[in-house]
Chain A
Amino acid sequence: MRTETSAAPLVVFRFGFGLMMLLSIVRFWANGWIEKLYLEPDFFFSYRYFEWVKPLGSWTYLLFALVAVAAACIMVGYRYRLAMAVFFLGFTYIELMDKTTYLNHYYFISLLSLLLFWIPIPAGLAAARGCRVDKVYIQALQLFVAIVYFYAGLAKLNSDWLLHAQPLAIWLPARYDLPLLGDLLQQRWVHFAFAWGGALYDLAIPFLLLWRRTRVMAFVLVVVFHVLTRVLFPIGMFPYIMIVSALIFFGPEVHERILGWLARGRSRIAVRFPLPRPSSDWRLLPIGVLLLFHLLFPFRYLLQPGELFWTESGYRFSWRVMLMEKAGLATFRIEDADSDRRAVVDNREFLSVFQEKQMASQPDFLLEFGHFLAEEYRNRGFVRPAVYVDSYVALNGRLSQRYVDPRVDLTTVSRDAPVHQWLLPFQDTIYGF
């Protein structure tokens, strides 16, 4: 059963996506973050198998410029597929340059841009009016957004979130300086209301958006929810991106009107986008594979032993948002097995404050930095450097606990070794997803 429908929802989505991405890049640039995050540090944390992806020195600015131009092309619908390919590659490259800056919403954008690459969307704005596409493409986008919400909701069904309102009980009182809300955020019941409300919202909103009769109410909820998170937490462009994404659940009539408003005064006689013929069915294969990956990949943590929040094996790329307040302290000690030389490392000699903060509470960062230090101290004349780390981590308001096994020489641990072999076990239990 294949049905054709107006292409307007796709065109509006493309326009919104391009606009949001363009604004994101401009904002990132204007905040001086390219310099600060990608040019100033001497060391960058890599993703496994992507160790070759590094910042490009001053050329990094060109990379951002390229991605910004691609975003602008996507917005207006000029050479859409080429622009989307450039955007996906460029944006993903940027995100892979340093693991320190990992955010779920950056991953959301990378994956979404790959999905959009396979979806045929008419060019331009005015010209696109009246075009028709297979409904399945719109449904693919709806499913993509719905999974993000639903999985984020599932991840909140754990004892820390529901029974202790953590980490909200730490974060919310710290926003005492907010007008109107500040006093309220000190109340224990407010923390629980936010925790349960947040979980319920994430789980229910995809269905409320899908159902026509609750759709407008659901969209109002989307706006209120994301504005609130924007006010409470430093989450940049993400709320706006999600609000724009949620528009995809509205029917074609709404999008026709948005398009009409966007393309006001413009001629409709521009080149017609050749409508995708049934022969474009092959596109459904990559789209299907991507959606399957989207459904399954977040569950890979089930293959790993240990508490997910503690080991973080499988924590990233699984829509676990705002679930942890984790702080750490890591002191590295280098000992030369062939002499009596030893040294204690000042992390800030190699890392920015931001990098050090991220490094101190995540096992893969600690290990990678340990390996880097071994190499660094070999260059400084240590013959056989052994690297040990004294590390403590506090998770969601628990007392800090020793993290990495202090007797383990990190140079003997491979990046592929299971984390539980060198990380001390978590001294508590968190129930749930």
Chain B
Amino acid sequence: MIRFLLLLLVAVSAAGCETDPGTSLAPASFDRAAMLAHWADDVIIPAFEDFTRDADDLQAAATSFEATPTAESLSEVRTAFATAYLGWQRLSPFMTGPGEDHRLREQLNIYPTNTARLKAGNTGSLELPSNTDVQGFPALDFLLYGTESPVEHRGTIAELSRRIHGLSSAALADWTTGGYRDAYVAASGNSATASVDRTVNDFIYWYEKYLRAGKVGIPAGVFSNGPRPELAEAPYHGGLSKQLFLEGLSAGRDFFNGEPGLADYLDALSVEREGQALSARIQSGFIAAADRASGLDADVATQVTTNNTELLQLYDALQANVILLKVDMLQALGINVDYVDADGD
């Protein structure tokens, strides 16, 4: 009897050992590893490649503007700036791994930029965390469109453009030659540190903080006393911010709908809510937000001052999908919320 009990206890302790969260096994109904491979090979790495190419064009244009400051070369920098800024919107949702390691989003698109320090021109090392607000696209927006003479700042413009390209190339290299891609696809398990969980958490974080709040809610004054047009994206360009928003929204929608992607995953688990597929509900949420945005002024800051109500309605449309993504979808997919590791019962 005692031996039997001891044997059982040993069996318990052996079986109770944690399984390795990174191990991947062939799942029955939905192939997560295939989804991760699709995300890595067809979404994230191409977004990095496209953006890095745009950033390369930008640095080339900025370098020739630095050498020969003419109206023509200035116009070329401005065009390359807008193209790269739009390309960035398609990359911003995917900061999992290398993007985060290189603090890409922090160093490329923190706004409002610090105009006083930019004008003074002595910012020191751009690596410093205290210098995130004097670089990236918001700083270029100011230097290219907000100053009386961009020519005077052409050295900084070129330096900042080269830095954008440098950071993006480094993160891309980590994904491809650095081996992150394989590790990413291999971690197809279920835990807060597995790739599906991390990517989805990062994606929702981006949707909530950077798309919904950063581009719409904050300038519309949802989080403050009254509207704050000066906190909109690309305020000095004056005609780009709506396009930047739409590009981000469309990147988010494409990611959700990619095949195989989150919509497929939800459908594979036949997730229905009140007679309608949850994937269809989220899909119509993306469409509703795009419809709401279509009538807006090309410049969000202008929209805030002329008719802020429409922007507030866009915020509500975006918020409806935050609830579906963050509450309903995470629950249905059993995705762990970031870094919560404690016992349950």
Q: Which residues of A contact B (CB under 8 A)?
A: 31, 33, 37, 101, 103-105, 170-171, 173-179, 182-184, 186-187, 219-220, 223, 226-227, 230-231, 233-240, 243, 247, 254, 257-258, 261, 321-322, 325, 327-329, 340-344, 353-354, 357, 392-394, 397-400
Contact = CB atoms under 8 A, between A and B. Distances in A.
Nearest to A101: B342
Contact of B345 (A103, A170, A247, A327): A103
Contacts of A258: 2, 5
Contact of A343 (B11, B24, B223, B335): B223
A357 B337 contact: yes
Given A31-B341, A239-B12, 4 more contacts: A182-B28, A235-B343, A236-B343, A327-B327
Closest 3 CB pairs of A and B: A174-B334, A236-B343, A399-B273
Contact of A399 (B12, B328, B333, B337): B328
A209 B131 CA distance: 67
15 contacts: A37-B342, A103-B343, A174-B333, A176-B28, A177-B23, A179-B23, A226-B12, A227-B16, A327-B330, A340-B226, A342-B224, A344-B222, A354-B342, A394-B327, A394-B328
A354 to B, nearest CB: 5
B188 interface: yes
B32 interface: yes
Given A33-B342, A223-B11, A170 B331 contact: yes
A220 B8 contact: yes
A230 B338 contact: no
B16 A176 contact: no
Contacts of A328: 327
Contact of B343 (A234, A254, A398): A234
A329 B326 contact: yes
Contact of A238 (B15, B225, B338, B343): B343
B343 A173 contact: no
Bin the interface of chain B by size.
35 or more
B127 interface: no
B324 interface: yes
Contacts of A177: 19, 21, 23-25, 27, 188-190, 194
Contacts, number: 146
Contacts of A33: 342
Interface in B1-47: 1-2, 5, 8-9, 11-12, 15-16, 19, 21, 23-30, 32
Given A103-B345, A400-B324, A325 B5 contact: no
A261 B188 CA distance: 45
B16 A173 contact: no
Contacts of B27: 176-177, 182-183, 186
Given A186-B28, A353-B337, A394-B327, A227 B189 contact: no
Nearest to A254: B1
B344 A103 contact: yes
Contacts of A219: 8
B345 A230 contact: no
B301 interface: no
Interface in B271-291: 271, 273-274
A31 B18 CA distance: 14
B183 interface: no
A101 B224 CA distance: 33
A33 B341 CA distance: 9
B345 A104 contact: yes
A56 to B, nearest CB: 20
A25 B345 CA distance: 17
A41 B57 CA distance: 46
B11 A176 contact: no
Nearest to B344: A234
B323 A344 contact: no
B190 A174 contact: yes
A254 B328 CA distance: 50
B190 A243 contact: no
Given A353-B340, A392-B323, A392-B327, A399 B11 contact: no
Nearest to B276: A399
A392 B326 CA distance: 10
Contact of B1 (A105, A257, A325, A399): A257
A261 B344 contact: no
B344 A173 contact: no
Contacts of A234: 341-344
B225 A340 contact: yes
Nearest to A229: B345
B237 to A, nearest CB: 27
Contacts of A254: 1-2, 5
B207 to A, nearest CB: 13
Nearest to B221: A342
A231 B15 contact: yes
A400 B15 contact: no
B32 A176 contact: yes
Contacts of A103: 343-345
Nearest to A237: B343
B8 to A, nearest CB: 5
B322 interface: yes
B12 A243 contact: yes
B332 interface: yes
Nearest to A173: B269
A401 to B, nearest CB: 10
Contact of A176 (B190, B328, B342): B190
Contacts of B222: 344
Given A174-B334, A177-B19, A329-B322, A235 B223 contact: no
With most chain A CB atoms within 10 A of its CB, the pick from B5, B30, B225 is B5
Contacts of A325: 331
